[in-house]
Amino acid sequence: MAIIGMEWLWVMPILFTGGIYLYYSNKSALVKFHARQALALQVLGTFGWLLLLASGTAVWIVLLIASLILIVVVIGLLLAPLVALAYPVFILASFALPLSVLVLGLLGAVKVWNGEENFRYPSLADLLDRYLGRIQPDPISVV
């Protein structure tokens, strides 16, 4: 039951930003512009984090098994420090990615709230413009 509750923590930011994007897509170019960027950030951050968890766990398990097998031949003792360091690095990375998405999202929200209507997430906005077309935010059409 707790796992089902945790899944909502991954899905809710995507649903909220997606809902804002869909609701305002025909009403305000400014809100559509920023909601599209926020939605892309949430989707990339969520799926990137899940990919990091899956791949990091798989790599660590492979290193652990290889180390345990090679310990028999003493070569595994050389691999043991790598296995010992890989897990803390993986844990730090799995905490850093969601925090960076949170910080970028808050930065974007504060900048737009303070009137910087043309705020763009670095690199992400350029990718969105290239694949989905450019949206010119119109500050007058805010609903």
At 51-106, the pLDDT tens digits run 888 888 898 888 888 877 777 777 767 777 877 788 888 888 888 888 888 888 88
In this prediction, residue 1 carries a pLDDT of 47
**HSE toward the beta carbon, residue 65, CA cutoff 13 A:** 6
Torsions phi, psi for 45 (to 5 deg): -65, -45
Whole-Å CA distances, 56 to 15, 20, 102: 27, 33, 21
In this prediction, residue 7 carries a pLDDT of 61
In this prediction, residue 91 carries a pLDDT of 83
pTM exceeds cut of 0.75: no
In this prediction, residue 130 carries a pLDDT of 75
In this prediction, residue 137 carries a pLDDT of 57
Instruction: Indicate whether 28 pLDDT > 70.
Output: yes
At 124-143, the pLDDT tens digits run 777 777 777 776 655 554 44
What counts of helices (H) and strands (E) characterise the chain? 4, 0
Structure tokens belonging to residue 56: 């990091």
